[in-house]
Amino acid sequence: MNKTYQKKHELWLGILFSSFAINDEEIKARLYDFSQIAFRHMKWLGSDILESNDDYNYDRDYQLQKHQNVSEILETLKIQIFTTQQYYPASILGQRLKTDDAYLLEYIDQLLTDENKKQTVTAFNMQREWENLDQSSIDALTLFLFEESYKEYELILVYAYMQARTKNHLHFNIFQDLIDESHFHLKSFGNMMSKLGILSVPRQLHEMTYMVTDLNKFVIDGIAEEEAAKEMCKQLSEAIKDEKLSKFFDFINFQESYHIELMKKLL
């Protein structure tokens, strides 16, 4: 079952980063919705594994392929879905996973027959250009996005791991809020990386990152990490000479402030 979980984890990343890579706003939005469904699949699979007195981890073999057009991305995603389906359990949950995937495959096939959907992909061209930004601002933005996209990916998985193992209702709800917020941040940063032509998947988590033995220390360290992220947002907002982007990072900064308050409740 851990292999099934790993394959679903990789498929979640495959759908998610396909949505980031594609410029077409309609396809991007639909694929992101499907990625959220895949993440719920991970949650359900994890619960089943724990209920059967087994366990899972966040090991993965996924590599983001740097395609040049939308059709190539969709064909690769299609192959990944078929490969993942071989691991689904013969259960009611397994059937749900298969039928959700079947609808995604149908959507992909519709796109592949539409000649207007074969646009060029610029997410991997490394051009690092953003309207109205000078090179120093782009450098600061690039560093921020690489660091913070990993942080948000890490937080999504760590909080999900903790949530699956808690019996405390307050803790469960706080973890859910933090997961949802981190999904939004990862989506925002992933799309920005794509616009800069530097899209990449965050590095894999070491098991010591999410196998928490001291909850208090974990939360205290997490608060410190959020404080550091707030400072990065503040510095970036001041460094970037673009009013819209500066306001966006102020917005993220204020959200991080509330995350700290949520985490204090855990203490």
Q: Tell me what pLDDT residue 176 has.
A: 97
Give the whole-angstrom CA distance, residue 6 versus residue 261. Answer: 32
Q: Tell me what pLDDT residue 246 has.
A: 87
132 pLDDT higher than 90: no
If you average pLDDT over residues 88-107, what whole number do you get?
97
Q: Tell me what pLDDT residue 226 has.
A: 86
Nearest CA to 182 among 211, 151, 143? 151
**Helix or strand (DSSP H, E) at 259:** helix 243-266
Mean pLDDT taken over the chain: 93
Ordered domains of the chain (ranges, CATH)? 1-121 (1.20.1260.10), 123-267 (1.20.1260.10)
DSSP for residue 116: G
Q: Tell me what pLDDT residue 232 has.
A: 84
Sign of the C-alpha dihedral computed for residues 96, 101, 102 and 104 taken in this order: positive
If you average pLDDT over residues 120-132, what whole number do you get?
94
14-61 residue pLDDT tens: 999 999 999 999 999 999 999 999 999 999 999 999 999 999 999 999
Residue 30 CB burial class (10 angstroms; 0-12, 13-18, ≥19): middle
If you average pLDDT over residues 85-94, what whole number do you get?
96
